[in-house]
A and B are shown apart, each in its own frame.
Chain A
Amino acid sequence: DAKTTQPPSMDCAEGRAANLPCNHSTISGNEYVYWYRQIHSQGPQYIIHGLKNNETNEMASLIITEDRKSSTLILPHATLRDTAVYYCIVRVQTQGGSEKLVFGKGTKLTVNP
């Protein structure tokens, strides 16, 4: 019951910007978009999150469209160490009133030398 759609794989040249898209057309007005990445055989790593405004931190930038139905994660200067699976996540409310992260299959980003 993932609420997001991502391409299964993407390639990027080392040193170039990697732009990873995500569709979340059913997102509610007060739901945040979270991005995580998972390097092979490691635990997922938090990257960034946002609600309406574009966000930037030391790892990446997050661009959210005005209608909030899609977003793009930007890695400005991709390195080989950025090769990973990137997950775009919207929290889902549970029956008990709590919330959970629902991970889809993500986008496998391969950064090529």
Chain B
Amino acid sequence: DGGITQSPKYLFRKEGQNVTLSCEQNLNHDAMYWYRQDPGQGLRLIYYSQIVNDFQKGDIAEGYSVSREKKESFPLTVTSAQKNPTAFYLCASSIAVKREAKNIQYFGAGTRLSVL
């Protein structure tokens, strides 16, 4: 069935280690997004991509990197430069990024990252 799949559900990172969170969608959406959520807080935008081979920094991009080599996939790497990576990470997709009523973002189930 169609949707957004994030994996793994839980992830542990050691000090100085890079880890990659997977996000795949089969909705044929052009736009994809990564958000970070800390306990009791709303979502904050890390990166977004409007189209394959293009991506833009969001509000809190430092310490993160992304790639968009395929329309279906938008992996997020949490680098060792991110000093406080423990959070709930959410991936979303939408038909487009720009001003359209149908630009509804659909979210995956999330990945919970913890530091060992």
Residues of A within 8 A of B (CB): 2, 30, 32, 34, 41-46, 49, 51, 87, 91, 93-94, 96-106
Q: Could you tell me how many residues of chain B have their Cβ less than 8 Å away from some Cβ of chain A?
A: 30
Residues of B within 8 A of A (CB): 4, 6, 33, 35, 40-45, 48, 50, 56, 58, 88, 90, 92, 97-99, 101, 103-110, 112
CB distance from A7 to the nearest CB of B (A): 14
The count of A-to-B residue pairs whose CB atoms sit within 8 angstroms is: 62
Q: Contacts A44-B90, A99-B99; is A94 near B56 (CB within 8 Å)?
A: yes
Q: Contacts A87-B42, A99-B97; is A41 near B110 (CB within 8 Å)?
A: yes
In chain B, what residue has the closest Cβ to A93? B99
Q: Which residues of A contact B99 (CB under 8 A)?
A: 30, 91, 93, 99
Q: Is the CB of A100 within 8 A of B58?
A: yes
Majority SS of interface residues in chain A?
loop
In chain A, what residue has the closest Cβ to B41? A105
Partner of A99, one of B42, B103, B104, B108: B103
CB distance from A86 to the nearest CB of B (A): 11
Q: Is the CB of A42 within 8 A of B56?
A: no
Q: Which residues of B contact A103 (CB under 8 A)?
A: 35, 42-44
